[in-house]
Every structure is written in structure tokens, then in C-alpha cells.
């Protein structure tokens, strides 16, 4: 059984997709140990509670320095001891010591086709604003392992989504969630839980015959 901790900052629709995936059997061999948020008011914490999953708030605001938060956050993850940490709309940069402690065991969902529209400053609605500003016709979402960089770790899965002429950032965000994020992230967790992917030379490889 793959034990996961899901880190969230806001609405938690990606968290919901994971919980629904487990409930309906699309995600197997997986148990959510806890949901961690930097935001006590996150709807995602409410979703965890409704599911009987412990919700934990760890905010940089509650620590006297960023270093202290980084250590506190890492200590909490180590205490929970998950097999996998899932960043599902978590707007806090993961401390290097947490990346080291959970090497290739932290995954993130990003709402664009990395390496486009990612890195510092590209989060939430801003990603979709930039996509529309640039006028690209195809965007999408990416699930990747987390390393010390920003949106730079090995890519696990990507899914393309068409951009339409009349899109607003909000409309595009919704389409990317519905057509890509809510499918990709639960599937990546299921693939990891069932040993269908592995790392070869710093790249993610899918076991033959497991598409």
C-alpha cells in the first residue's frame, strides 16, 4: 500500500480527484495519511475532514524565519513518513532538506506543458494569463518529480489541452483541470503505487505493456 501525504494551498479540486479516484477504484494500493496545507482556510482541509483524513496546517507565518519553517515542514513530513508526497496545488517552495529526505518521492502537478510557462512566478491563474498573452494554441498539464529547482524535476506525464479564441484565464484554467489535471495526477499516483514507472538515468520510464 502506497502511503501518501497531499499538500495543498487552496480549493483542493486535485485532492478531490485523488480521493474520488481511490473511492471509485481508479487509484489502487493507495492510502492518504494526511493533508497538509499552508493555509488554515483552505477548502482542501475541509475536503480532507469530510473524508475523515487528518488535516494539518503548517504556515510560514507561524515560524520566526523561513529556515525555521523549512525545518518544521520537513520534520512534519518525516514524522508522517509517507512513501510519496503529492503537491496538489501547493504554493510553497519545497525546502531543499525535504527534497533530500524524499528524493524522487515528491510529485507535483503544474498546469502547463513544462518547460513552457513554468518556474518562478508561474502559479495558479497566472500560468493561464501568460498562455493567453502569448497566444499559444495548445497548453496542458504536467506531473513531475520534484527536485531542488522550480518545476524542473523528471517528467512523469503530460496531457495537451486546446486553447480556444474566446478563452479567459478562468475558462482555460477550468478546461485544463477537467481535461488534464484531474486525470493525470490520480493516474500518476496509481502508476507509482502499482510499480508501473521507474527512473532510468534521471528520466521516468514506463514498464513495457502497462499503458
Query: Which range binds ligand GRF by CB under 6 A, 5-13, 48-56, 72-80, 190-198?
Result: 5-13
In angstroms, the CA 34 to CA 84 distance is 11
Dihedral (CA of 123, 128, 129, 130) sign: positive
Decide whether 185 or 204 has the Cβ nearer to ligand GRF.
Answer: 185
Q: What minimum distance in Å lies between the beta carbon of 54 and ligand GRF?
A: 18
Number of residues that make up the chain: 211
Which of 176, 165, 167, 98 has its CA nearest to residue 142?
176
The reply on whether position 153 binds ligand GRF by CB under 6 A is: no
Q: Of these, 5, 45, 48, 88, which contacts ligand GRF (CB under 6 A)?
A: 88
**Cβ-proximal residues to 119 (8 Å cutoff; 6+ apart), any chain:** 150, 151, 152
Q: CB of 119 within 8 A of CB of 126?
A: no
Decide whether 26 or 175 has the Cβ nearer to ligand GRF.
Answer: 175
**Residue nearest ligand GRF, Cβ-based:** 89
In angstroms, the CA 152 to CA 166 distance is 31
Q: What minimum distance in Å lies between the beta carbon of 10 and ligand GRF?
A: 4
Q: What is the secondary structure of 146-186 as a DSSP string?
A: --SSSS-SPEEEEEEEE--TT--HHHHHHHHIIIIIHHHHH
- Count residues near ligand GRF (CB under 6 A): 16
Per-residue x/- mask for ligand GRF, residues 105 to 144, rule CB under 6 A? ----xxx-----------xx--------------------
In angstroms, the CA 186 to CA 135 distance is 29
Query: Which range binds ligand GRF by CB under 6 A, 8-16, 20-28, 66-74, 201-209?
Result: 8-16
Q: What minimum distance in Å lies between the beta carbon of 14 and ligand GRF?
A: 3
Per the annotation, the verdict on 110 as an active-site residue is yes
Query: What is the set of active-site residues?
Result: 110
Give the footprint of ligand GRF on this chain (CB under 6 A). 8, 10-14, 44, 88-89, 109-111, 123-124, 177, 181
Amino acid at each position: 500500500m502506497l502511503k501518501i501525504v497531499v499538500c495543498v494551498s487552496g480549493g483542493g479540486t486535485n485532492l478531490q480527484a485523488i480521493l474520488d479516484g481511490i473511492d471509485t477504484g481508479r487509484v489502487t494500493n493507495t492510502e492518504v495519511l494526511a493533508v497538509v496545507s499552508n493555509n488554515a482556510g483552505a477548502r482542501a482541509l475541509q475536503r480532507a475532514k469530510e473524508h475523515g483524513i487528518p488535516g494539518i496546517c503548517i504556515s510560514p507565518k507561524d515560524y520566526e524565519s523561513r529556515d525555521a519553517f523549512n525545518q518544521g515542514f520537513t520534520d512534519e513530513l518525516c514524522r508522517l513518513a509517507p512513501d510519496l508526497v503529492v503537491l496538489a496545488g501547493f504554493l510553497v517552495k519545497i525546502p531543499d532538506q525535504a527534497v533530500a529526505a524524499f528524493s524522487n518521492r515528491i510529485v507535483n502537478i503544474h498546469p502547463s506543458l513544462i518547460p513552457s510557462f513554468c518556474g518562478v512566478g508561474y502559479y495558479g491563474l497566472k500560468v493561464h494569463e501568460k498562455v493567453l498573452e502569448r497566444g499559444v494554441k495548445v497548453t496542458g498539464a504536467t506531473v513531475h518529480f520534484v527536485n531542488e529547482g522550480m518545476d524542473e524535476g523528471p517528467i512523469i506525464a503530460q496531457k495537451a489541452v486546446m486553447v480556444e479564441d474566446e478563452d479567459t484565464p478562468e475558462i482555460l484554467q477550468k478546461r485544463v483541470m477537467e481535461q488534464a489535471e484531474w486525470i493525470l495526477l490520480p493516474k500518476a499516483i496509481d502508476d507509482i503505487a502499482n510499480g508501473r514507472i521507474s527512473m532510468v538515468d534521471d528520466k521516468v520510464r514506463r514498464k513495457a505493456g502497462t499503458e
